[in-house]
Structure 1
Amino acid sequence: MMQKRKYLSYTLPLIFFFMMLIDGHVSSSLLSAFSVPMDFTSNLLLMFLMFATFQMEKTYLVIWSSVIGLLYDSYFYNVIGINLILFPILVILIYSLFEHVYPNTFTIILSFIVFVTAISVGRVFLLVLFKLTSTTILDFFARTLAPTLCLNIILIAVLVVPLKSMFNVKK
C-alpha cells in the first residue's frame, strides 16, 4: 500500500498532464464528429483527480491540481485563473465529501456527475464574470452542460471499475 502511494506520487503529475491532453482531444474529436452546435467537454482529468483523493494526501493533491489548472488554463483558455481556481476547490470538496460518504461504485458515479456539473457551472460563471464569453442560461444548459454530462456519464460508467482497482478504492 505504501509502495503504491509512493509510486503514484511520482506518476500522478504525468498522468494528470496526459489526461488534460486527452480531454482536449476527446472534446475536439466529438465536436468535429457531430456537426451540431454543442460543446462536449471530457473531464477525464477531473475523474483522475477524484480517484487520486483516495490515495494521496490533501496538500499534495491541492498543489498538483493548482499546477495542472495553471497548465490547463494556459493551454486551452490563454487566460490564467479559471481552472487554477476551480481544480483545487473541487479537490478540497472531493476530500470533504468522501470523509462523510462511503465510496462505493454508485456514490462515486453520482459524485462525479455532481463535480462535472460544478466545474462546468464554475467555468461558465468565471468566463462570463471575466467577460470572456457571453452566453445565456438556456444556451449553457442545452449546448454545454447536457452534452458534457452525457459524455462524462458514459466515461465514468466505463472507467469506474478499472479506476477503483488502480487507485485501490476499498474503503
Structure 2
Amino acid sequence: MRTEKMNYYFPIGLFLAMFLDGGLTQVFAKQMFTNTMAMESRLVLLFIVMAVCYGNVEHLVMWSAIVGLFYDMFYTGILGVFTMILPLMVYVTKYMFQFFTRSFIVVLLIYLIDITIVTFLFFWANSLVDFTNATITDLIGRTLGPTLIYNLAWFVVLFLPLEHFFETNY
C-alpha cells in the first residue's frame, strides 16, 4: 500500500522540486547571480538523492529522465542535457550508496559529489555548443563553490522532512 502511495507522491514531489529550483532562482536572482558568483539551485537532485537513499521508488530512472526533459525545456535551452544527466546521477548515487550505511553525513557527501558531477557535466555540455567561454578555474571559483554552499544549506533544512517523507511512504 505504501509503495502505491509513493508512485503518486514521488512524481508530484519531483516536479515540485523542479519548479522550486526555478522559483527560488527567479526570486533571488540578484543575490544568486553577481559579477563574482553564480549559484545554481539543485533541489531536484536533492529529491532524487533522497529517493535513492531512503525511498523505494519504482521507475526512478524514468522519472528522472522525464523531469530532466522538463528541466531542459524550462530552464537550460539545450534539450537533452539534464535528460541524460539526471538518470546518470541515479546510477552514480546507487553505486556510491551501496558502499555506505545510511546517515546524514553519508547522504550529504553523496549529494555534494553529485552536485559537483552535475555542474561539471553541464559546463562541459555548454562548452561543446559554445554557450560559455568560461575556464574551468572560473567554473570552480565562481559557480561550484557558491553552488555547493547554497545547496548544503538547503540540504540541512530539508533533510529531516524528506527523510520522513520517504520513510513514511516507503
**CA separation of 1:146 and 1:30: change in aligned 2, threshold 3 A:** farther
**CA separation of 1:73 and 1:160: change in aligned 2, threshold 3 A:** same
* Equivalent pair of 1:9/1:56 in contact (CA under 8 Å): no
TM-score (norm 1): 0.89
Matching of residues 91-106 of structure 1 within 5 Å: 91-106=90-105
Give 1:15's aligned residue. 13
User: Gaps (5+ residues) in structure 2?
Assistant: none
Deviation at 1:11, TM superposition (A): 1.9
* Equivalent pair of 2:32/2:38 in contact (CA under 8 Å): no
Deviation at 1:135, TM superposition (A): 1.1
**CA separation of 1:143 and 1:8: change in aligned 2, threshold 3 A:** same
**CA separation of 1:81 and 1:100: change in aligned 2, threshold 3 A:** same
Deviation at 1:97, TM superposition (A): 1.6
User: Gaps (5+ residues) in structure 1?
Assistant: none
Matching of residues 21-170 of structure 1 within 5 Å: 21-33=19-31, 36-37=34-35, 38-53=37-52, 54-57=54-57, 60-168=59-167
Mapped to 1, the partners of 2:59 and 2:130 lie a distance apart of 32
* Equivalent pair of 1:16/1:48 in contact (CA under 8 Å): yes
Q: Report how many residues are paired.
A: 166
* Equivalent pair of 2:33/2:39 in contact (CA under 8 Å): no
* Equivalent pair of 2:39/2:143 in contact (CA under 8 Å): yes
Deviation at 1:167, TM superposition (A): 1.1
TM-score (norm 2): 0.90
**CA separation of 1:72 and 1:34: change in aligned 2, threshold 3 A:** closer
Moved more, 145-154 or 30-39: 30-39
Give 1:4's aligned residue. 2
Deviation at 1:35, TM superposition (A): 6.8
- Please state whether the residue corresponding to 2:167 is helix, strand or coil: coil
Query: What is the letter of the counterpart of residue 164 of structure 1?
Result: E
Identity %: 26
**CA separation of 1:65 and 1:155: change in aligned 2, threshold 3 A:** same
CA RMSD of aligned residues (A): 1.7
Deviation at 1:123, TM superposition (A): 0.6
Deviation at 1:149, TM superposition (A): 0.6
